[in-house]
Structure 1
Amino acid sequence: MKAVHLSFALLLACHCNVAQANDWPGFRGADRSDIQTESGLLKKWPKDGPKKLWMSEEGGLGYAGFSIVNGTVYTMGANDDFEEFLLALDAKTGEEKWRTAIGARYTNRWGDGPRGTPAVDGEHVYTLGARGDVICVKAADGKEVWKANLVEEYGGKLQNWGYTESLLVDGDRVICTPGGEKGTLLALNKKTGKKIWQTKDWTDVAQYSSPLVVEHQGVRQYIQRSMTNVAGIEAETGKVLWMQPFAAGKVAVIPTPVYADGKVYVSAGYGVGCMMFEIGANKPKVVYENTNMVNHHGGVILVGKHLYGYSDKGGWTCQDFATGEVVWQEKKLGKGAIHCADGQLYLLEETSGTVVLIDASPDGWKEHGRFVIEPQTEQRAKDGRIWTHPVVSNGQLYLRDQELIFAYAVK
């Protein structure tokens, strides 16, 4: 009997580990590559698209993304009481588990509400409201553990779109970007919310990009960008290890940097383009800078040796990571966001809500299905679009149009 119980326990443990491997704990995944390694997903969709499992109307206003951990979907929204909130939904049914107030609702012409994605770390969830409210809550019930504000406490300054960053949790640190004279990048203790360090030698104003963590030559560091610079910050001390100028225009810098094998790739919209440089022993060395990828905010993903994303200049683009040259471009779908899962790209057009499945391949655009999100919100701002990035986790595709949150079966 004991052997039976032990066997069952082992099977259960294996099952749980498999499920956790396909969870999505934060923006662009655990490593911020935006690649879901889950296998067995549909390689071709039915004529009308994958089956819709559920739709929730409880998301509230905003463009916040999804984290999916242990059967719970975490996101954010804004309500009619002019509050922003953190929301937990059941991944199987879409039913609300709990919601917790974050702070005052951010308003602007492109749409009210929060813009980032919560980060799940163990028993806690961390997130950032559009007005700079950083909050840590218990994942089980949403009970607040601690709270801070990037503007009031750390010298941050709200930009036109508010704070859109998705927090990075690394070790005992929560990494965020208040920007300003007190320091561009900030590390808070994830248990207490108290400051560990704030960059003294980097004081650029914050933009809208989210940082990533890498190990380079044995040194753990955070890579983040401002309107004029890309920097590597030592994880333990907050010291600037290197800085590469990148004149990203005067409007907005949004896409998260891409890192591979000691090389950093950044892109920006508004006609700016992209740059790839090597992190050298003394200072970075630029490998190329061009306008082959003018990515505004839909994201760029490195799959193997090639980059994929939407370029304002040429449409959906496959770019050689090493050389920066265009491999192929296609305009069969308009501007939007991208996500990668099981060797395929999930593309979302921001104006129509059309979702397309293609191969992540340098051999060209190979489409395997498309559908349109239905229904669509009636609350979207006139100047807003469908900007929340798609996410696949545990066989389900998650999409959002303001208060409407969707889950589709893609396995």
Structure 2
Amino acid sequence: MKPFYIPAIVLFSLSTQAADWPTFRGADRTDISSETGLLKKWPGNGPKKVWMNEDAGLGYAGYSIVGGTLYTLGARDAVEYVIAIDAATGKEKWSAEAGALLTNNWGDGPRSTPTVDGDKIYALSGKGTLVCLSAVDGKELWRVTMESLGGKVPGWGYCESPLVEGNLVIVTPGGAQGTLAAFDKTTGAKVWQSAEWTDPAQYASVIAVDHNGTRQLIQLTMQSVGGVNAADGKLLWKTEFPGKTAVIPTPIFKDGQVFVAAGYGVGCKSFKIGPDNVLEPLYDSTDMVNHHGGMVLVGDHLYGYSDKAGWSCLDFKTGVVQWAEKKALGKGAIHSADGMLYLLEEKTGTAVLIEANPKEWEEKGRFTLQPQTTQRNAKGMIWTHPVVSGGHLFLRDQELLFCFDVSGK
């Protein structure tokens, strides 16, 4: 009898199929991890630190974790790199150039999260170079610039994370040639660009939904929120959303309802995509002025930090505030796993665990990230969003990348 074996490339594909966190805000871009059996309360000094990597590069990039490897972006000297790190040990596996260094008064370096799809990585540099790399060793397969698509680097750099949709990879170059663009994910050849929608790029990431019998791509800009057909980029619907200074949070969708928000006093807006993609306004208010920490929808309730009222819970369907808490923790980012919310305060690096409870703020532990970088720009803060994957909580402060055990085992 011949020995049974599986080629290495097949093993890799199998591991990526079971991937827990392949892109920014997870595979469905809800920012809710599918992890279960996690700690419901943290020890007094916080969960156990498993490892810390001190050379993840500068910048505010997030991370994807697939098949035991964490993928992120970081700046070293004058170059931005895609960096692969062993998720169990924190040891670097490889690094590959993504693009030239983005310089910015709030801190240099990349801002987006790499996207993992099978044996490939897609990453967008701060200046707008989209690279496709081998996930195994970082070998470059193709690259394209947002500038070649008519795009202009936004004030804080390109921040969105690429979206893999079927055989396409979607990004937002912005500009007169089209707000959104799609490439063949294998060859890098452009498939379409949304010529009917020409807003400049902002900082949100695209989501993909099934609605009205069509796969729709929904994106948010400074001027509007719109949906295009994933197959050809044709505009399906669009409505005004006048932002100020910067529009950052990822749109949220459930059962035909879209919710968007922005900071700088703008607030939030929600509407239904009805039959024939006719839009029905639901509400708009300043009850969720979310700047850049993101929001999560758990069940029928939306959670996030509002510049107006602090950490807030809103009824998603009606927009009615359920509770707000400003004293317990300052502004920051949010993530959800196993019925809990993981909050990270931007100024102090304090992480807090609370229940996803629509009735009240119910804290279940906190700790402050230590050590913290000495290389962060004076205007910068801890802006990388928390992620739970494989029973571990991943946090980052510039070049310092942390892994904590929250498995409950």
User: What TM-score results when the alignment is normalised by the length of structure 2?
Assistant: 0.95
Contact 1:248 1:268 in 2 (8 A): yes
Cα distance in 2, alignment partners of residues 269 and 323 from structure 1: 20
CA distance in 1, matches of 2:277, 2:46: 51
SS at match of 2:278: coil
- Trace 1:110-259 onto structure 2 (pairs within 5 A): 110-151=106-147, 153-249=148-244, 251-259=245-253
Determine whether 1:71 maps to 2:68: yes
Q: Tell me, which stretches of 5 or more residues in structure 1 are unaligned? A: none
Q: What runs of 5+ residues in structure 2 fail to find an aligned partner?
A: none
- SS for the counterpart of 2:396 is strand
Residue by residue, what CA displacement relative to the aligned partner does 1:310-360 show, whole Å, maximum 9, x if unpaired? 000000000000110100001210000000000000000000000000000
Q: Distance in 1 between matches of 2:14 and 2:195?
A: 41
Spell out the pairing of 1:3-402 with structure 2 (5 A cutoff).
21=18, 23-80=20-77, 82-151=78-147, 153-249=148-244, 251-280=245-274, 281-331=276-326, 332-402=328-398
1:60 aligned counterpart, secondary structure: coil
Provide Cα deviations, 1:214-252, integer angstroms capped at 9, x if missing partner: 000210010001101101000111100000111122x00
Give 1:283 shift: 2.4
Give the 4+ runs in structure 1 shifted more than 3 A. 16-22
Deviations 1:271-309 (A, max 9, x none): 010011001225211100001000000001100000000
Alpha-carbon distance, 1:22 to partner: 5.9
Q: Are 1:19 and 1:394, in contact at CA under 8 Å, matched by a contact in 2?
A: no
Paired letter, 2:30: S
Q: Hey, what's the Cα distance between the residues in 1 that align with 2:16 and 2:227?
A: 33
Deviation digits for residues 137-171 of structure 1, max 9, x if unmatched? 000000000011011x1010011101001110111
Structure 2 CA distance for partners of 1:161 and 1:178, relative to 1, 3 Å: same
Q: Which amino acid aligns with 1:174?
A: V
Query: For 1:32-81, what per-residue CA distance to the aligned partner results, in whole angstroms no more than 9, with x for missing partners?
Result: 0000011100011111000000000111110000100000000000011x
1:233 to 1:400, Cα distance in 2 relative to 1, 3 A? same
- How many residues end up aligned between the 2 structures? 400
Q: Which amino acid aligns with 2:66?
A: V
Distance 1:32 1:130 in 2: 21
| Identity across matched positions, percent | 59
Mapped to 2, the partners of 1:310 and 1:28 lie a distance apart of 16
Query: Structure 1: how far apart are the matches of 2:55 and 2:140?
Result: 20
Separation of aligned partners in 2, 1:196 and 1:20? 25
> 1-side partners of 2:129 and 2:14: how far apart?
33
Q: Is the 8 A contact 1:22 1:36 kept in 2?
A: no
SS in 1 for 2:149: coil
Superposition deviation, residue 18 in structure 1: 9.6
TM-score, length-scaled by structure 1:
0.95
The answer to whether the Cα contact below 8 Å between 2:212 and 2:277 also exists between their aligned partners in 1 is no
Aligned-pair CA distance for 1:19: 9.2
Task: Tell me if the contact between 2:119 and 2:134 (Cα under 8 Å) persists in the aligned partners.
Answer: yes
SS of corresponding position for 1:400? strand
Root mean square deviation, CA, Å: 1.8
Aligned 8 A contact 1:114 1:130 in 2: yes
Matches of 1:136 and 1:159, distance apart in 2: 22
Q: Separation in 1 of the partners of 2:210 and 2:309?
A: 33
Per mean C-alpha deviation after superposition, the further-off stretch among 297-306 and 282-291 is 282-291
2:199 counterpart letter in structure 1:
D
